[in-house]
Amino acid sequence: VGDQGPADRVAGLPPPRLREDPALADELLARLPDGPWSRATSVTDLVDPRRSYWRQTRGAPPISPDRQAKMDAGRRAHRRIDLALPAEGAFEVRLRRGGVSARIDLLADVPVEVKTGDDAPPDDLVEGRPEYVDQVAMYCALLDRTDGRLIHVHPDASGRPTVRAVDVAFADPAVLRDELASRASGLRSALASADPAGLPACRWFARGCEFRAAGRCECNGAEPFPSTAFQDAVVGVVVRGDVEERWNRALAASSAPLADASFRRFRDLLYPRRTYFETTSPEEPPVPARPSPGETYPSEVYDSTVGALEGGPIGDVRRLAETDSLVEEEVAGWKGEPYVIRTSRAWSRARADAALERFPQYAIELGFRCAVTATTRARVVLAYERAENPRDRLQVLEYDFGDGVASYAQLYRDRAATLTAARARADPRELPPCALWMTTDCPYRARCGCPAESGRSQR
Ligand code: SF4
């Protein structure tokens, strides 16, 4: 495949067959809120609402190299688990109910929260790690279930993964739902009134909280004690020796360490020139502004659309099994096929027969995702921010690559090799220029010396 053109248009790539799917768009439209676009609260926000408050109002604090290394190791460990135990259930199941969203690590016979770390966990996971219990309790609340599982994976003295597994039974899903709703409304009220006083003390206050270290919070340790409602609802804890044994065996059999993913996102290979600068000498990203009352922001449109997908049947949206670990970003699947959600400020909907010309980047983004999941069909869900008629708010475009997916797989590998070589030579000149619209506000423009604008994509 030739790769001389702008990064979102590549000469010689076989175009996918493209069609609009109005039935799927209708399915999603039925789940959009009647009123304005709205944003969900995540289960992760509700484990420590105070941290979420500061993150949403003041931005995430810088991540220390140590912490980044731990997070990277955690992601690799999770990926290794996914690859070693494919038959265990559905991984990273996403769902949303009542304005609360969750990404469940594993949906097996019960919802499972998987934790990884360098150190052995306390003997009593339920007593010693209340935040794990909170998380699995919230999954149960959203799924209307009473049983969940906690799994902790850490290396033993010889570095071999060691698994602890306990099943946790809760008394009544209604109690769990009430506590979930109370946490969500507490966080929403704090954000609406810009007053975090009623939010419970953060469990990380005295454990190296990075918001405190960066001066991005006003906590003083005298905040209300966190609720114990989820722990109080526990009526049974059973150590699952059989699960521990199965996991230990599977992880030992796949003990070859996973190589570090070389790229964080598929976008890195879609726009490799921009990625070169972002990863070799990044500019500090601006702290996102909070929307003013009554204003619609692209993130709300995006989040509402995510909610429409995640509000469907359980398991409809989940991670797809990948055949390659070059890119760290997981491939989310909707109804078993890769998808991306994109927002548009266009006044008119795209015609399916013009979409390849209008959005050339989507075919490559989806082609890469198909290439690493052994699939040949994928979808873009387009959300139109300016749609006046509610029925025009969403559009689903289906891309069928057929055998042509092999060319996208080749481009994926070529782009990865070219970007790796550019980094090694500290020279981005061989990398294809980004789309023209990206150049206008690009903070790297002066250093990039990107080619002349003529002949480059407008998208
Ligand atoms: S100046 Fe243009 S080509 Fe260069 S990195 Fe920025 S967007 Fe990409």
Residue 444 CA: which ligand 1 atom is closest? 6
- Torsion angle of C-alpha atoms 7, 11, 12, 16, degrees rounded to 10: 60
46 pocket-lining for ligand 1 (C-beta < 6 Å): no
Give the helix ranges, DSSP H, for 194-292.
210-213, 229-232, 241-253, 266-270, 272-280
Residue 439 CA, ligand 1 centroid: distance in Å: 5
Q: What is the pLDDT of residues 72-83, one digit of tens each?
A: 888 888 888 888
What local confidence, expressed as pLDDT, does residue 256 receive? Answer: 57
Residue with CA closest to ligand 1 atom 5: 274
- Greatest alpha-carbon span in the chain: 68
Can you give the pTM of this predicted structure?
A: 0.85
pLDDT category at 177 given cuts 50, 70, 90 is very high
Residue, of 258 and 313, whose pLDDT is higher = 313
Residue with CA closest to ligand 1 atom 1: 445
What local confidence, expressed as pLDDT, does residue 260 receive? Answer: 58
The 3-state DSSP class for residue 380 equals strand
Total residue length of the chain: 459
Residue 271 CA: which ligand 1 atom is closest? 8
Contact 382, 344 (CB under 8 A): yes
CA distances from 387 to 154, 214, 343, 383 (A): 50, 41, 11, 9
Instruction: Please state, in angstroms and rounded to a whole number, the distance separating the CA atoms of residues 27 and 17.
Output: 22
Residue 8 CA, ligand 1 centroid: distance in Å: 13
pLDDT category at 458 given cuts 50, 70, 90 is very low
What local confidence, expressed as pLDDT, does residue 104 receive? Answer: 97
Q: Which residues contact 132 (CB under 8 A, 6 or more apart)?
A: 113, 115, 125, 126, 150, 152
- For residue 277, give the amino acid letter: F
End-to-end CA distance of the chain: 21
Residue 315 CA, ligand 1 centroid: distance in Å: 39
Of 4, 442, 459, best ligand 1 pocket probe by most atoms within 8 Å of the beta carbon: 442
